[in-house]
Amino acid sequence: MDSIEEQILVGVSDDVFDRLPDEILLLILKKVRDVKSLCVSMSVCRRFRLVVAQVDEVSLPVPIPRRKTQLEPEPPRSSFIKDLVIKAIMKPLYFISQMMKFKSQNEGNCLDERPIRIPTEALSPFQEIKGLHLRLPCTGITGPRKAPATFLKWKAEFGRELRSCVVLGAKSWRRSEEKSMLCDRETRGMSEEEMKLRIVWTISCLMAASGRHLLVEETARNYRTIEKLVVSDDGDQGKLLLNKEMLEEVRLNKKLDEPQSNRTKIPALKLKMWYLEKLELSNSGGVMEGPTLVVVWPTGDQPAEELQKKAEDTAAAAFLGNGDDDGKLLSEAAKKLMLAKRCYTLEMNLF
């Protein structure tokens, strides 16, 4: 009887993690990704501290900028442009609403604009980081879960300068449980006002992407082991991607002694825009009013046809990475829009 009780006590006191080899424990901890959670787990025991330090892909939330107090003086007028660019980085939809002079329903949730700082000191416990995902704070962003509302998603790739940008937007989006037999409508073209709105969407997303690119340049140079860098926001509205090749371009690019800027310059661009008056997503169960897909690529030295083909391939795969419902919706919408007969080609100068 005593031997059975002893075996039970041993089984209770025995830590399951102690039985796991370090390789399996490392695989488990890699699934956590969140820097704060990983750093907390390092305090559990010496073994955890040694294993967590080997995690090479982490996600780091960027803290919300501190709100302004009554004791702080008003910012000088010279900081207006700087604050405007920060708005574009952190809250593209809010930025658009101000440019278009209509009041956002989510304006009460907006953050007080302050310089964004990446807390890279939180990365010091890790030996060799190969993948870094930065998550910017963001409020007041509308999307599939807050429909009907302006719908806007973007994804950009940057090296030394912009490689490509894909924007998917709609005037409104809503869930629809009914299966309609009607075809997607493309009976008319865009009006002048609709075209202006979509150009503003595109410019806002490009400014957000270029602002985030400048924000991570120092991080890319200081952490040379990073092979993949992703910058997104808590609202999942926009995503900036830099792979190993693009990061090397950033590290080799010497900073010029130019006046201080809050974003990377955007080169001369070409845009291809697909438009439908209405789009019904049968697989995802949604309806978009005025959906538009915009593909942006620089006018480089390569043949225009080759650059356009690369950009369109990027657009086709832009939203395939997410396996959730939102990812399926975005992927289905992008594929259907690229089949639309009506499309527009535009050019944009450097800005």
Separation between Cα atoms, residue 170 and residue 288, nearest integer Å: 6
186 CB contacts (<8 Å, ≥6 apart)? 275, 276, 277, 340, 341, 342
Strand-pair partners of 274: 293, 343
Cis status of the peptide bond prior to 148, with omega within 30 of 0: yes
Tally of CB atoms within 10 A around 113? 19
What are phi and psi for residue 81, nearest 5 degrees? -65, -40
Per-residue pLDDT tens digits for 30-57? 999 999 999 999 988 889 999 999 999 9
| Size of the chain in residues | 351
- Give the residue ranges of the chain where pLDDT is below 70: 1-15, 65-115, 138-149, 176-188, 255-261, 301-304, 307-308, 311, 320-326
216 CB contacts (<8 Å, ≥6 apart)? 118, 134, 229, 231, 240, 242
Please tell me whether residue 59 adopts helix, strand or coil conformation: strand
Per-residue pLDDT tens digits for 120-169? 888 999 988 999 999 988 643 333 444 445 788 999 999 888 988 999 99
- H or E stretch covering 250: helix 244-252
